[in-house]
Amino acid sequence: MNIAPKQAGRAGVESKQSVAVCPICQGTNFSPAPNGRMSRRGLAPRCMSCKSLERDRAGRSLMEALRDRELFKTFKLLQFGNDRIVAKGWFRESETSVFGSIGAHNPMAIDRPNESFDCVVSSHVITKVEDHRAAVREIARLLSRRGLAFLSYPLPGLRTVTSDWGFPDPKQSGNFRILGEDFEPALVELASGTRIAAVKAIDPVTKDADLVYLMTKDFSWMRKLISLRLDARFLDAA
Amino acid sequence: MNQAIHMHEGYLEYISEERIAGWAARIGDLNPVEVQILVNDKVLGQVSANIMRQDLRDSGKGNGVHAFNFYFPKPIKDFFRPERIQVRIRGTGHVLAKTAELIDVLEAVDSAVPETAAQSTSAKGAAESAAGDIAFGILSAATTATPTPGQGAFLGIQNRKLFGWAVLEAERTEIFVTVDGKVLGEANAAGSQTLKDVGPTMALHGFEIPVPKTLATGVERKIAIYDAANGTRIRSNPEKLLFPKTDDRPATATATAPARALDPLAEIARARQAPIPQARDTASNIKPAPAPAIAPHRANRLAVVAWDMAHNPVGRAFLLADLATENQAVELIGPTFAFYGGRIWPPIANTTIAMQSFPATDMQSLVAGAVELASKVKCDAVIVGKPRLSSLLIGALIRHFNDCPMIVDIDDHELSFVQNRTPASFEELVKGIEADPAKSNVPYNDLWTRFCETLVSEADSIIVSNVALRHKFGGMIVRHARDERSFNPSLYDRTKTRTEFGYTDTDRVVLFLGTPRAHKGIFQLADALEKLNDPRLALCVIGTVTDKRILARFAAYKKARIKLHPDQPWERLPELVNMADQVAILQDPSHPIAEFQIPAKLTDSLALDVPVLATVVPPLRDLAFADVFEPIDSPADVEPALARLAESAPRGTAIGRGREAFLTEFSYGVNRARLDLALAQAKQSRKPDLPKFESLFRLLEQQTDIQLPRLTNAPPRLDRRAPMLATDKPRDLIFLWKQNDSDIYGRRSDMIAKYLLKTGRVRRVIHLDAPLSAADLERQAAQSDGDSAHQGNLVYVNTVRRILKTADTPSFLRRTYLYRSGARPERALGRDLPTRDGYPDFIRKVMKELDTREAPLLWVCPVVFDYQAVADIVRPVAIVADIIDDQRTFPGDSESHRQRVAGSYATILQEADAVFCNCNPVRDAFADLRPDISVVPNGAELLPDFPGAGKPPELANFPRPIIGYVGNLRDRVDYDLVEAVARKYPDGTVVLIGSAHGQPEVPKLAARCPNIKLLGVRPYEEAQRIMRGFDVAMMPHLKTEQSDRMNPLKLYVYFSVGVPIVTTEVANIGDLAPYVNVAQDSASFLAAIADVLAGTGKQVTEEARQTILGALSWESRVAEIWQHLVKAI
């Protein structure tokens, strides 16, 4: 097969995106995502340097905006997975639990005391566990009174009703389900005691938006969202 | 009559003081009916029941487009009395019954009314009642008992402000309000200034928060108050509020009546003295008895416009409509042109998507139909399918009527289908229409299509179908998608279809679907098969061949296995594609259509997991990159590709690369998400103004005499500009001159700009001549080549200086926009020239260069066709128009140009804060457009004396007496009289200074009379110097309609120079008539010259001249102008 078009396409993509900068590694070269996937706007989404995708960069940009440098230095982080939504160096200490790897926490029942983490990051995890409700409850339980949790899952808001097939379908990237809009009220219920905001985070490279749920027991984080004028919607969890 | 009643159905669901709503339909008929609103048995108004309601549709009421909503012209008292208001289906006598819920509500209101102050009759009482109305109900807690912490309420929205009150714990007052969960704004609930007189609660705990225009959409939204300190939600009523459209109600309500903008249901509830229920869109919530399944749901409404509903271009529009139906209430609309069949394109005629169409044949029927249809459509967004005139016209009208975003969808480069593939500018369009009005009456002709491409830039958002189009137009890609549920290989029995068409499992079927034509590469396939001579390979052509030459060519193949089949039903498409082993999409890469189009069969094939063999053309480049199909780079690649196919294994059942690519790129799921995103994006990126559409609408108005709305969205004058005070600090002045001859003749415009600057009230003058094309500039130079009496050379030199900025002084900047002559790239003066359409960008650049903080003054000398665009960018503190002459009376202009000129005058004079002209006839001529025009005549300059002024070298060799004329040598000059003067003084000289362009008789005259000397065009200062050497300065003007509307400036110039003057008796010289020799006819003109030369003519002393000049000077004229201006603004 002639590969000439492929080369031409790549060159074109790179030159067009030369001004875009990855907020994680400052990389400026981007390629199509696995399987040749392009962003919703048709741009090459994968940072060729740090391999980040739209959701990683959107999340990172949001957390960068919210980050209080001094305060974060006193925080303890629990991160599910190796994504780069936050940098470990921001925190006093951190624990990383890559779902499915040896020694990883079970997201549905984490062997840690209540309110033992100040920052919890769960990106694209709860759809991969058997009981996503338990996973949300655990995040809310582990979150300290001053902390902030970052929760995201694939394609939020794209469908109204959750579709749960009950097994990790390899054709669906190992997900048990795709969560629909109907999960939002459930989220409020499961994370009782926290305030939740659905925030539209923007990937500065592709400009694609990703919906992220921020959970907190400290209302000052919500105030910060307001003052930053982020596109946020409050899910009543009081 | 009874029969008519039984044929209709509907219910009256909602009544308030302000509006009435319900639904009505003719049973079994999708067309909307008209309903009449009767108050006390008199018809108050009529409205079409044509609003789409999903609940009606869901409950089987036709296509759901049967709801109506009518706002009373003024609030209706006693609306709760059942006999007071009725709704009747027009022409039937069918009076709509009220729903049981509505009757309950009305009865409750009725019983509560005596306790309200609504029936107060005196003016004072009415005002008090309005104030009481606010306090009543919502503020009942505040008025009857002290509100407790944690309580709050919303009063409503007035003048784009949300009013309410809240009482917080611990005497805190900072709150924030959310709308649909999103923060609307923060406020201090410590008393509303606007509503402090309403009651103590509002005075102590009231708040007001601005409501952005984006929320003013007439949609009901969830609303909540929070304590900003801890996020505690305040118990507040109502929990939902209708955010009225900006134009739903006039913004004239006083502060004592803000409750007018509250949701009407809240008003009823207040009147009932009951706790406020959740405000709802009652029109959809109160269920009419026969339709119990109606749910309280209001979907977003989307209109998709096709440029023609009668042939295949509607296919893409239909696809978008179909894509959107899952999340929106969609309507597909457009004209059905007689030329294309005049009826809905059969493949979509029987679908369930709501459609509205109207027949069109020419421009008149298109515009009439478009206005009528667009005024009926109710939607939250409109998609224009393909940038053609009909779709863009309807789309822009819908955008205007609904105040919603307009998205333009491009799935082909429309210019691929026309001969001249360059976009046409507005000027080119106007010229084209003038040249061939009959041709331009066809809305889909090439010229219109070429112009329409320039309108794409005014879309609020753009969607395209492939990367090549995105590269050209930008925007988001929404593919030619297919529904993954029906385009699924597992749904079809492949073996059965193959058997039906005569193929076995061992065969490898290459499918060609569509009308076979040579440019589609069909014979490349046949040739390859012929060469391969492999019995396993079969070419299956499905598509009726009507061209005998094609049939003959197929018949010539002896070894290739080719089978031709006629057209198959559209519904069989997935099944047919599914039987193939390979689909070939071979295109001629050099063909303009292939440059931008993706054939839909690519999607079909990928959806059904059939491998594709395709030529790599630009629109497919990204897909080739992702290995979605097997690329064909040259015809030689076809044969080996087919040979590989022959050896390939049969298609399996596992999901292959094609289906995977389809699901992730071409499926409805993915593209629906993209479409939703594009719609959301469009809502956030509304263009404030559509100047190009505005020009188009005005042009269509002229063509059809059908009134179209104005699209300029400029805020009202008072909002835009602060009052200007006499004490204001100096501002910049943007001066728009209508021609390219400034600084040559010392015209009124030059003088006003110069002397305004001298007043010190103007900081800088930015003088803009009319935009000029490079070709026109060259023409100026060429025409004046060797002809000193032509002004072209001076225009050329001045324009070049302006472009190169060498004519600037620190406080007087001169600019001219030079653009390319056609669509092709062009360079001049060392720079790439922009297109004519780039003028607004040029103005932005000038403004940026100015870096001015204060809004400038805008001075315009009409006619300036670009005035609107400039005004919208400049955002001036005030607009001043100075009418120099009346271009409507200029001879030789075409009718359409004349109309355009008249339109431009109308716009400028209506928008200007102050309008000036130089004489009464001009004021009278424009009085119908602007009654308050101030007449400020031309002025004279106070020139310093300088030595040798009376002996200009140019005149040194001319025999005296020298009788001179300075001014443009146009048809207003009486050349016979000039000749008579020359003949009377054969030993003297007649000197003519000025441009003689377009006046061939001038050189002829000079040839006949050797003592007539043409000195050509001289710059103002030079001309002044020369005229000092005249013995007599003459003004031999004819009395014409044109001269009746002029205040001849040259007379003032002559006077300021101090030479004796003889003039014919023309209009508007009253200022100077007492001091110059005015002749009634030719004989007296010659006699007056003789008198002057003999020293007996009228002449003023130098002292008197100076006194007169003081009164007539430009300084005093400009001071007068400034006084008027300050008064006017």
pLDDT tens column, B724-745:
555 567 888 999 999 888 887 7
Whether pLDDT at B129 is above 60: no
Contact, B187 vs B161, CB < 8 A?
no
Nearest one of B906, B947, B953 to B930, comparing CA atoms: B906
pLDDT averaged over consecutive 10-residue blocks of chain A (238 residues)?
29 41 89 82 86 93 93 94 90 86 81 94 92 93 95 78 84 85 88 90 88 93 87 74
Q: What is the least distance, in Å, from the CA of B537 to any CA of chain A?
A: 21
Helix (H) or strand (E) holding A73, with range, is: none
Residue of B nearest to A206 (CA): B476
Cα angle at B329 between B328 and B333, to 5 degrees? 115
Whether pLDDT at B716 is above 50: no
Residue A15 touches partner B, C-beta closer than 8 Å: no
- Closest Cβ opposite residue B631 in set A2, A35, A226: A2
| Region B382-389 average pLDDT | 94
pLDDT of residue B528: 92
For residue B662, the 8-state DSSP code is: I
A238 contacts B231? CB cut-off 8 A: yes
- Looking up tokens 């063909």 gives B591
Q: From the CB of residue B1056, how many other CB atoms can be counted at a distance below 10 Å?
A: 22
| Region B273-294 average pLDDT | 29
Whether pLDDT at B363 is above 70: yes
B476 contacts A40? CB cut-off 8 A: yes
Helix B1102-1112 to helix B1114-1128 angle, to the nearest 10 degrees? 20
- 10 Å CB burial of residue B899 (0-12, 13-18, 19+) is middle
Burial letters B37-51, b for 16+ CB under 10 A, else e: bbbeeeeeeebbbbb
Q: Coil, helix or strand for B997?
A: coil
Question: pLDDT tens digits for B988-1046?
Answer: 999 999 888 778 888 888 889 999 998 888 888 888 888 888 999 999 998 887 777 77
β strands within B937-988, DSSP E:
962-966
Q: What is the least distance, in Å, from the CA of A80 to any CA of chain B?
A: 27
B183 contacts A42? CB cut-off 8 A: no
Nearest one of B708, B695, B211, B214 to B460, comparing CA atoms: B214
What percent of chain B lies above the pLDDT cut of 70? 85
pLDDT of residue B106: 64
A37 contacts B673? CB cut-off 8 A: no
Helix (H) or strand (E) holding B670, with range, is: helix B668-684
What are the residue ranges of helices labelled H in B113-233?
Answer: 123-135, 140-144, 200-205
User: How are the residues of chain A apportioned to helix, strand and coil, as percentages rounded to the nearest 5?
Assistant: 30, 30, 45
Contact, B718 vs B836, CB < 8 A?
no
- Residues B757 and B1003: their CA atoms lie apart, in Å, by 39
- Of A91-95, B62-66, B801-805, B989-993, the poorest mean pLDDT is in B62-66
Contact, B788 vs B997, CB < 8 A?
no
- Closest Cβ opposite residue B180 in set A10, A32, A233: A233
B637 contacts A40? CB cut-off 8 A: no
Binned at pLDDT 50, 70 and 90, residue B663 comes out as confident
- Closest Cβ opposite residue B631 in set A1, A37, A209: A1
- Residues B80 and B112: their CA atoms lie apart, in Å, by 11
- Closest Cβ opposite residue B231 in set A41, A222, A232: A222
Average pLDDT of chain B to the nearest whole number: 80
Q: What is the least distance, in Å, from the CA of B209 to any CA of chain A?
A: 15
Whether pLDDT at B698 is above 80: yes
Binned at pLDDT 50, 70 and 90, residue B712 comes out as low
Looking from the CA of B1068 toward its CB, the CA atoms found within 13 Å total 29
Contact, B129 vs B176, CB < 8 A?
no
Nearest one of B54, B7, B14 to B33, comparing CA atoms: B7
- Of B237-246, B457-466, B865-874, B892-901, the poorest mean pLDDT is in B237-246
Residue A232 touches partner B, C-beta closer than 8 Å: yes
- Residues B615 and B918: their CA atoms lie apart, in Å, by 69
Residue A2 touches partner B, C-beta closer than 8 Å: yes
Nearest one of A134, A76, A132 to A110, comparing CA atoms: A134
Q: Which amino acid is at B917?
A: C
Give chain B positions within 8 Å (CB) of A223.
Answer: 228, 231
**Residue of A158, A208, A210 to mutate, interface with B, max B Cβ within 10 Å:** A158
Looking from the CA of B92 toward its CB, the CA atoms found within 13 Å total 24
Both tokens assigned to B38: 């009767």
Per-window interface: A 200-229 vs B, CB < 8 A: 209, 219, 222-223, 225-226
| Region B829-843 average pLDDT | 86
- Of A196-210, B183-197, B604-618, B951-965, the poorest mean pLDDT is in B183-197
pLDDT of residue A123: 92
- Residues B430 and B572: their CA atoms lie apart, in Å, by 47
End-to-end CA distance of chain B: 62
CA distances from B71 to B19, B288, B490, B779, B1027 (A): 4, 21, 54, 59, 70
Binned at pLDDT 50, 70 and 90, residue B788 comes out as low
Residue A32 touches partner B, C-beta closer than 8 Å: yes
Helix (H) or strand (E) holding B697, with range, is: helix B691-704
Give chain B positions within 8 Å (CB) of A195.
Answer: 231
Whether pLDDT at B1070 is above 50: yes
Residue of A nearest to B230 (CA): A219
Beta strands at B1032-1035 and B1061-1064: parallel, antiparallel or unpaired: parallel
Contact partners, residue B962, CB within 8 Å, separation at least 6: B955, B988, B989, B990, B991, B1029, B1030, B1031, B1032
Helix B264-272 to helix B100-112 angle, to the nearest 10 degrees? 50
Question: Which residues of B touch chain A, with CB atoms under 8 Å apart?
Answer: 176, 178, 180-183, 186, 224, 226, 228-233, 467, 470, 476-477, 616, 621-622, 624-628, 630-631, 633, 637, 655, 660-661, 664-665, 669, 673-674, 677
Nearest one of B252, B142, B116, B124 to B198, comparing CA atoms: B142
Both tokens assigned to B1079: 């002749």
Both tokens assigned to B741: 């001859």
Torsions phi, psi for B821 (to 5 deg): -75, -30
pLDDT of residue B531: 92
Helix (H) or strand (E) holding B1091, with range, is: helix B1082-1094
More confident site: B687 or A212 = A212
Both tokens assigned to B405: 């975003």
pLDDT of residue A16: 36
Binned at pLDDT 50, 70 and 90, residue B255 comes out as very low
Contact, B24 vs B13, CB < 8 A?
no
B621 contacts A5? CB cut-off 8 A: yes
- Residues A96 and A83: their CA atoms lie apart, in Å, by 10
Torsions phi, psi for B1061 (to 5 deg): -125, 140
- Closest Cβ opposite residue A5 in set B226, B228, B625: B625
Whether pLDDT at B801 is above 70: yes
pLDDT of residue A147: 94
CA A201 to chain centre: 10
Residue of B nearest to A158 (CA): B673
Binned at pLDDT 50, 70 and 90, residue B581 comes out as very high
Contact partners, residue B354, CB within 8 Å, separation at least 6: B30, B52, B63, B64, B65, B329, B330, B331, B332
- Closest Cβ opposite residue B181 in set A4, A40, A235: A235
| Region B907-915 average pLDDT | 88
Greatest CA span in chain B, whole angstroms? 119
